[in-house]
Amino acid sequence: MKQKETLLNTMEIDHTGFEELGEEHVGTSLETPLREDAFEMDDELKIELIEKHFREIMHIMGLDLNDDSLKGTPHRVAKMYVKEVFSGLNPKNKPASKLFENKYNYKEMLVEKDITFFSHCEHHFVPIYGKAHVAYISKGQVIGLSKINRIVQYFSKRPQVQERLTMQIGNELKDILGTEDVAVIMDADHMCVSSRGINDTNSSTVTSFYSGKFEHDEQARNEFLKYIHLKK
């Protein structure tokens, strides 16, 4: 376990280029950029340190941390970060995916639509939330339906960019199910767009991942699109 004192040493960051990025939401890689020592500290120490630093942020902003309503906030935020909204950073929280044999030999696509997800924009640390729609065509194995929700939620519970999130879910389903035939569409509202900055509350962002038949067969892709738009 890491000592508390080492935290600041690991926080030396190259600040050049921050301003060029500005409001552009660009991601740098398919993998979430984690350090190798990301999980050397346990959750309890992470909560303790985040709490300390969040208290400092509130103090700098001039808030009175002796106020009954505010004094629990640093701990609440720290616990929420580690145990809830960013719990998907830690591979130990990855859902185990039990597969079943496709005994009934179902050959068509399976679509699970309108999966609710909550994530956070990694550039502003404010929520991204919306619906995910997932499809796959079995190559002999099937997965429990709620596991698809869990996979979507696991990758959502990280600081994210929507493009990466969509690809991470698609690639994970390909790996687990042993099929190339996977599609993911995510339609989301970004609070960094709606509640600040450009303050646009109407726009939403749609990203897609098409692999195998969904990439090459227009009919398969259109069938998927038709299903997910039924309710709209």
In sign, the C-alpha dihedral spanning 31, 36, 42, 48 is negative
- The residue among 124 and 213 lying less far from Zn ion, judged by its C-beta, is 124
Q: Is 124 a catalytic residue?
A: yes
Give the number of other Cβ atoms within 10 Å of residue 123's Cβ. Answer: 18
Shortest distance in whole angstroms from residue 206 CB to Zn ion: 16
Q: Is 192 a catalytic residue?
A: yes
Beta bridge partners of 110: 136
Tokens of 182: 């996977």
Give the pairing of strands 159-160 and 182-190: unpaired
Q: Pick the catalytic residue from 51, 112, 122, 172.
A: 122
Distances (CA, A) of 82 to 13, 128, 168: 22, 18, 20
- The residue among 161 and 169 lying less far from Zn ion, judged by its C-beta, is 161
Q: Pick the catalytic residue from 121, 133, 168, 172.
A: 121
Q: Pick the catalytic residue from 25, 51, 160, 192.
A: 192
Q: Pick the catalytic residue from 25, 51, 112, 124.
A: 124
Tokens of 79: 């616990």
Which residues make up the interface to Zn ion (CB under 5 A)?
121, 123-124, 192
Q: Is 121 a catalytic residue?
A: yes
Q: Is 123 a catalytic residue?
A: yes
Shortest distance in whole angstroms from residue 134 CB to Zn ion: 24
In sign, the C-alpha dihedral spanning 61, 67, 69, 74 is positive
Shortest distance in whole angstroms from residue 186 CB to Zn ion: 15
Give the pairing of strands 109-121 and 159-160: parallel
Q: Pick the catalytic residue from 153, 160, 162, 168.
A: 162
- The residue among 29 and 105 lying less far from Zn ion, judged by its C-beta, is 29
Shortest distance in whole angstroms from residue 34 CB to Zn ion: 19
- The residue among 74 and 88 lying less far from Zn ion, judged by its C-beta, is 88
Phi, psi of 22 (to 5 degrees): 50, -125
Tokens of 221: 């892709």
Is residue 208 within 8 A of residue 166, CB to CB? The reply is yes
Nearest residue to Zn ion, by Cβ distance, number only:
192
Shortest distance in whole angstroms from residue 107 CB to Zn ion: 41
Q: Is 162 a catalytic residue?
A: yes
**Sheet containing strand 109-121, strands side by side:** 159-160, 109-121, 127-137, 182-190, 205-210
- The residue among 102 and 205 lying less far from Zn ion, judged by its C-beta, is 205
Which residues are designated catalytic? 121-124, 162, 190, 192
